[in-house]
């Protein structure tokens, strides 16, 4: 049987959203009255159709029941450990302790620079600090787990004193376990739990929140002509299968984030498709995270207007993602992103 997917669309924001919900003309996205929708797109690998919510009753019974179940997940208020998802978007600040990350490699991995920068990220308004000791940029090779741990250990010890949510960006279960013992609150494995077979056991043992991230292949080969039958549906199915795998392996909690992995085994068309249709992932029932800060797709679009920080392109991408209900934004330039969000929210609430 043909598989259908439900994507919330035609969003309203701020004061208009609250008015629409009050008059029962729209439904809140993720239980948040500040963003709502009154249409859905019903799509499959063969067809697509946008309908008003009031027309769901006209669908054939099997499809109608499927859509109704999806909408329950879409409008349900999401919960996640120690995060207030009623005030989104939440900012995840990037702290790379590598000599070779694509944007800021070698910038914060010496002396006390990492801790100073972490405190700046917090001051600027980030809710989560994402610490990484291994570059996963295109063409990068994996490094020894001891080397990775040596890079991040001193900083993690200091960060634990700040009493903030600290995310660990690693693919290795041994590094995860050490990090958890020293105060890490969240695991962000860009391999989608595929790199290390023992990862699932660590996540189960410590009942720790984590990100399901999508990557096609591995950093060494992911950008060598990446191909999908349909990037949107293939990644959605990946998440569905991974969630099923996680539950079958005894992980009962729902402290899970979904990240489609912009730039991880995707070309420009793949990335733009994912960003433009990212609201499809709300029907999985988990908060959505996106990391598009300074990514190459911005350069591909900007051409001669590219810049080192790619701040304009990053802000465009994160604001659009926010307008699609994405709850968590992983960024380098926390202060500027917070500034853009504050201005936007002020405008839509007039």
Complete DSSP assignment for 210-277:
EEEE--SS-TTTTTSS---S-HHHHHHHHHHHHHHHHHHTT-----EEEE--TTSS--HHHHHHHHHT
Please state, in angstroms and rounded to a whole number, the distance separating the CA atoms of residues 196 and 189: 10
Among the residue ranges 95-104, 192-201, 205-214, 247-256, the one predicted with the least confidence is 95-104
| Residue of 277, 295, 296, 310 marked catalytic | 295
pTM value? Answer: 0.94
CA dist., res. 27 & res. 12, Å (int): 10
Look up residue 222 and give its two tokens.
Answer: 């992911």
Domains of the chain: 5-75 (no CATH), 90-348 (3.20.20.20)
Selecting among 330, 338, 342, 345, the annotated active-site residue is 330
CA distance 184 to 177: 9
Q: Is residue 327 predicted with pLDDT exceeding 60? A: yes
For residue 109, is pLDDT > 80? Answer: no
Q: Which residue has the higher pLDDT, 102 or 341?
A: 341
Q: Which residue has the tokens 């991040």?
A: 152
Q: What is the mean pLDDT of residues 59-79?
A: 96
Q: Nearest-5° angle of CA 55, CA 36, CA 293?
A: 125
Q: How much is the pLDDT for 105? A: 46
pLDDT (mean) for 83-93: 93
Q: What is the pLDDT of residues 154-190, one digit of tens each?
A: 999 999 888 889 999 999 999 999 999 999 999 999 9
Q: With contact defined as beta carbons under 8 Å apart, do 146 and 134 qualify?
A: no
Residue 100 and residue 66 in contact, taking contact as beta carbons nearer than 8 Å: no
The region of weakest confidence among 48-57, 101-110, 113-122, 236-245 is: 101-110
- Which whole number is the average pLDDT over 222-234? 96
Read off the pLDDT of each residue in 105-120 and give the average, rounded to a whole number. Answer: 74
* Residue range 127-136: mean pLDDT, rounded: 93
Structure confidence at residue 298 (pLDDT): 97
What is the rounded average pLDDT of the residues 336-346? Answer: 96
295 an active-site residue? yes
């Amino acid at each position: 049987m043909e598989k259908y997917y439900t994507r919330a669309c035609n969003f309203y924001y701020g004061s208009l959203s609250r008015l629409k919900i009050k008059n029962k003309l729209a439904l809140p996205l993720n239980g948040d009255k500040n963003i709502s929708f009154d249409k859905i797109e019903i799509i499959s690998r063969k067809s697509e159709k946008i309908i008003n919510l009031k027309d769901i009753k006209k669908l054939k019974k099997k499809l109608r029941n499927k859509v109704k179940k999806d909408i329950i997940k879409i409008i349900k208020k999401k919960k996640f450990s120690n995060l207030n998802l009623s005030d989104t978007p939440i900012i995840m600040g990037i702290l790379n302790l590598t000599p070779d990350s694509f944007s800021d490699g070698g910038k914060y991995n010496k002396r006390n620079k990492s801790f100073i920068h972490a405190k700046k990220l917090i001051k600027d308004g980030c809710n989560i600090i994402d610490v990484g000791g291994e570059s996963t940029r295109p063409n990068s090779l994996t490094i020894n787990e001891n080397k990775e741990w040596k890079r991040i250990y001193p900083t993690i010890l200091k960060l634990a004193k700040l009493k903030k949510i600290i995310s660990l960006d690693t693919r290795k279960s041994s590094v995860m376990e050490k990090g958890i013992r020293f105060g890490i609150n969240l695991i962000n494995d860009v391999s989608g739990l595929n790199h290390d077979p023992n990862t699932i056991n660590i996540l189960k043992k410590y009942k720790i929140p984590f990100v399901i991230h999508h990557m096609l292949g591995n950093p060494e080969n992911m950008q060598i002509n990446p191909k999908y039958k349909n990037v949107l549906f293939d990644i959605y199915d990946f998440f569905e299968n991974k969630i099923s795998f996680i539950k079958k392996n005894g992980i009962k909690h729902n402290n899970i984030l979904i990240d489609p992995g912009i730039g991880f085994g995707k070309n420009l068309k793949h990335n733009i498709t994912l960003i433009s249709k990212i609201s499809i992932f709300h029907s999985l029932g988990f908060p959505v995270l996106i990391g598009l800060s300074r990514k190459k797709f911005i350069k591909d679009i900007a051409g001669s207007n590219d810049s080192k920080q790619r701040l304009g392109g990053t802000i465009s991408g994160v604001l659009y993602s926010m307008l699609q209900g994405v709850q968590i934004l992983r960024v380098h330039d926390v202060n500027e992103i917070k500034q853009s969000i504050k201005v936007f929210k002020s405008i839509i609430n007039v």
